[in-house]
Chain A
Amino acid sequence: MATQNPPAKRVKREEYRRKVQAQQESTDGSVIKMPQKKFFRQRAHANPFSDHRLEYPISPAHMDWSSHYPAFVDPDTSKTNLSGGRKLTKEVEVVDIGCGFGGLMVGLAPLLPDTLMVGMEIRTSVLEYLSSRIHALRSQQQRLKNKAANPSSTEPQDASTQPENTESTPAPAPANDDEIGTEKLFPGNFENITAIRSNTMKFLPNFFGHHQLSKIFICFPDPHFKARKHKARIISESLNSEYAFVLRPGGLLYTITDVEEYHHWVLRHFLHGEQPEGGPAPAASSKDLFERVSEEELALDPCVRVMKFETEESKKVTRNKGNKYVAVFRRKADPEWPA
């Protein structure tokens, strides 16, 4: 295949993406192939302070989720939101902030089939990949379902391979990522996950109302190594206030990183440090709104396993024999108003 003048990488990419796009738009029922990550890679950093060209709803009540979760649209057409979109039968309650290629979303989808989940990502190409991926997963599930219901299908493959088996071990080879879900029926059929481009550091409250969420995931966030860049970190005391606003009391905020220093940063920004005996009480801050979840509890939480082993970044860390630092925090109730 080696030619003297191979087309520029970008040309190839654009061609590929156009194809994917066309495939998605076609409704002839042809098999939709999983998108390939290599055509969607993008620089791992984005400036959270710049305006970008983001689309975001004026308020959560204006957010039209109906195109994101067609299977959950309320059949009552009279129920619409403030922007005129159809309402859903339930609210979105899990968010993956900085979802990347969406390994966590895809991994969690069958675990929480009745929970609506959204991945948010600021990088357009990556987001495009994940949207294509979810679209492909859904259509494959649809095809498998049709086959299961109609075994006389001409397709030679047997599609009834234990639809209940969601505990499949993660594929060891990274390439298999792109194939996940092709052969099995999964609970929820990936109808419960979607991806949106957003800058959550600015616009998270535009999407989610007070106490709407039950889980927030922040997996392998951009570590912003330089001290000068620390203000761009996705975890900070003031952002934690916003996470607390959208997270319901009892809700969980999951973090994982492979950078030990960042792990300590996370702990430092969610928890009060050791106070000297008899010293002054720590100043009130958003740390008062969170408590750390114990290791025993985490061992029983299947979401932690997905976070540790099924996200693209976690697989990379495993490959490179890096460390993974997990910290999960439970949202406490708001403090009483001062008398």
Chain B
Amino acid sequence: MASLQHPFQCLRYVNRQSMGQSDILIATAGRNLYSYDSSSGQRLDVWPQPVDANVEDNAEDKSSDAAPASESQGPPEKRRKLSSTSEEQQDAKPESKPKDSNKEASNSWTNIPLVAVAHSKYVVIMTSEDKCVRVLSLDNEGKLQQLSARTMPKKLSALTLTPDENNILTGDKFGDVYTFPLIPSGEYVKVQAPAKAYEPSATNLTVHTKRNLESLEQQMRQAALSKTNQAERVVLNFEHQVIIGHVSLLTELISVTRPADSTVGKRNYILTADRDEHIRVSRGVPQAHVIEQFCFGHTSFVSSLCVPSFEPKVLVSGGGDNYLLVWDWLQNQILQKVQLPGAEGEITMRGIWDVSLEPTADNADPVKAIFVSLEGSSQLLYYTLESDNTITHQDTLQLSGNVLELTGLGSRGSILVAVDTLRQSDSTSAWKSSSQPPLEAFRFSSGKWAPVDDSMVIKINSEGTSNLPTTIEEKQQKELNDSMYNLGNLRKRGDYDE
């Protein structure tokens, strides 16, 4: 029996022809990040490398911004805010252990659910369990090298870049959107007021009951005792800004540029979606605090937003509803409500992807495709965007496993679909006995998307991804299921809490 392999969770096609280089496919599976040559399918690199000593050396040589002398042994990205020298020594101990850092790191996450690519030469990822945003360089040969790692306070649900690709935008489970530079600039010095003695904000003018007064007294006593006991938090010790906040679980975040038209110039926007049915339209950085619009229409959580690159006025959104909404998002105007196969309360959007194809000899018209997949479904719904900005269902593609991720393959007129290698088709929990190939390709010809034997896909599939342990317990299976199919948890269960 062939051993089970991790499915691909994220795919990104990196177009590098403008840089005079061949295109690269970036993929994550399990806890690894892979880079592939897009023509041959040759694996170029795996990150993190299986534990071996020379990785460290490379990291030191290549890192662009040198670490301060005191920390030269440590990985350059572990830049800590140190407020005093005495603290420095204390803090340095657990943090800077270069020999162990790789091993430690290799245990600290199990998957990489979020990926973005900047300037075709940086890969930004979030490793799940350690909530760490890592920036890696992608060099000419497709080698991956970690440049920085920044720990966020909460697990991220969305990661993208500002339109200039110089800043990272993240959205977290707490509803906050952060922005910080792709490449950390210089040393971050946290502006901090000198340590103040703790002083309760309550006073005997504001609390009156006997019990409250007692606890206030207790706080005062405690404050006197524990002045020194202030453990510094290791998160967010880098330059950052909170620019948007929802009092809800943030589910999706995209950055959109509307090209100039007759009345206004080019404008950037940030679209955020949350568990409380909201889609919010804010201005782009640095004016993200100005909310321009809310798009109202969903009655369950919103988990997928897609503004097609070929029609930035339009938004296609979906989540826990059994319909898609097509919007003129700047006007909060619903252009179309598209019914999905499945009952309300049961289906969950996995993803919405836009793919455009230039006209070719084969296809006279440009293709403006919107692909939609539902969580735990092996079908891929294919829609086209019409000239009146509505979408029309054209076809449903059947995959060999649940659809997880999709990417267009640039000029090749095809799409690449990652399917679930572990779970049986149309199930989010029942496992297969043996793995199947993780990728499938479809090419557009004569108005249809047809499966195609792409040499790159064959090569990638033949090499596979990383193996799961040969014996896997039910509990681990469940954990893996939950980390791959977690959107259903966003549904409100109507718990009563006054």
Contact = CB atoms under 8 A, between A and B. Distances in A.
Given A49-B247, A238-B176, A245-B291, A223 B206 contact: yes
B362 interface: no
B289 A239 contact: no
A51 B248 CA distance: 10
Given A239-B247, A242-B291, A59 B297 contact: yes
Interface stretch (A87-95, A177-185, A330-338): A330-338
A283 interface: yes
B494 A53 contact: yes
A285 interface: yes
Interface stretch (B196-204, B382-390, B415-423): B196-204
Given A52-B498, A285-B289, A320 B208 contact: yes
B426 to A, nearest CB: 30
Contact of A50 (B176, B203, B495): B495
B289 A237 contact: yes
B498 A262 contact: no
Interface string B469-498: 000000000000000000000001111111
B244 interface: yes
A168 B243 CA distance: 46
A338 B497 contact: no
A260 B293 CA distance: 35
Contact of B492 (A47, A51, A321): A51
Contacts of A48: 247
A22 to B, nearest CB: 23
Contacts of B243: 285
B287 interface: yes
A58 B494 contact: no
B205 interface: yes
A241 B293 CA distance: 12
B264 interface: yes
Contact of A47 (B244, B248, B299, B497): B497
Nearest to A42: B498
A146 interface: no
Contacts of B405: none
Contacts of B199: 261
Given A283-B241, A337-B283, A289 B495 contact: no
A126 to B, nearest CB: 11
B276 A321 contact: no
B291 A244 contact: yes
B267 interface: yes
Contact of A241 (B208, B289, B496): B289
Contact of B265 (A47, A244, A337): A337
A289 B247 CA distance: 20
B293 A210 contact: yes
B203 A260 contact: yes
Contact of A59 (B201, B245, B267, B296): B296
A236 B205 contact: no
Contacts of B242: 237-238
Most buried by A among B201, B245, B294, B299: B201
B286 interface: yes
Nearest to A236: B245
Nearest to B205: A322
A245 to B, nearest CB: 4
A202 B276 contact: yes
A202 B497 contact: no
B163 to A, nearest CB: 12
Contact of A258 (B206, B297, B495): B206
A32 interface: no
A237 B241 CA distance: 12
A238 B287 contact: no
A323 interface: yes
Interface string B273-307: 00011100011001101110110110100000000
Interface string B259-273: 000001101000000
A206 B203 CA distance: 37
A201 interface: yes
Nearest to A323: B205
Interface in B318-345: 332
Interface string B420-453: 0000000000000000000000000000000000
A262 B202 CA distance: 9
A241 B291 contact: yes
Given A47-B497, A238-B242, A321-B205, A58 B296 contact: yes
A59 B244 CA distance: 21
B382 to A, nearest CB: 29
A181 to B, nearest CB: 28
A42 B498 CA distance: 10
A59 B331 CA distance: 13
Interface in B223-259: 241-248
A334 B291 CA distance: 10
A149 interface: no
Nearest to B298: A58
Nearest to A61: B296
Contacts of A2: none
Interface string A182-210: 00000000000000000001110110001
Nearest to A241: B289
Contacts of A261: 199, 201
A27 to B, nearest CB: 31
Contacts of B278: 205
A46 interface: yes
Contacts of B244: 238, 241
A46 B205 CA distance: 22
B296 A262 contact: no
Nearest to A240: B289
A205 to B, nearest CB: 5
Interface in A17-75: 42, 46-53, 58-62
B296 to A, nearest CB: 3
B211 to A, nearest CB: 13
Given A237-B245, A322-B205, A323-B205, A289 B498 contact: no
A291 to B, nearest CB: 15
Contact of B206 (A62, A286, A322): A322
Contacts of B247: 48-49, 201-202, 239
A337 B497 contact: no
B320 to A, nearest CB: 13
B229 to A, nearest CB: 14
B286 A283 contact: yes
B293 A52 contact: no
Nearest to A264: B201
A320 B206 CA distance: 8
B296 A206 contact: yes
Nearest to B208: A320
Given A50-B495, A334-B290, 8 more contacts: A52-B496, A238-B176, A258-B205, A259-B202, A321-B205, A323-B205, A337-B287, A338-B287
22 contacts: A49-B247, A50-B497, A51-B495, A51-B497, A58-B277, A59-B296, A59-B297, A60-B296, A124-B498, A203-B276, A223-B201, A231-B174, A241-B244, A241-B289, A244-B291, A258-B206, A261-B201, A283-B286, A284-B287, A320-B205, A334-B290, A339-B265
Per CB-CB distance, the 3 closest pairs between chain A and chain B, nearest first, are A238-B245, A59-B296, A261-B201
Interface of B: 174-176, 199-203, 205-206, 208, 241-248, 264-265, 267, 276-278, 282-283, 286-287, 289-291, 293-294, 296-297, 299, 332, 492-498
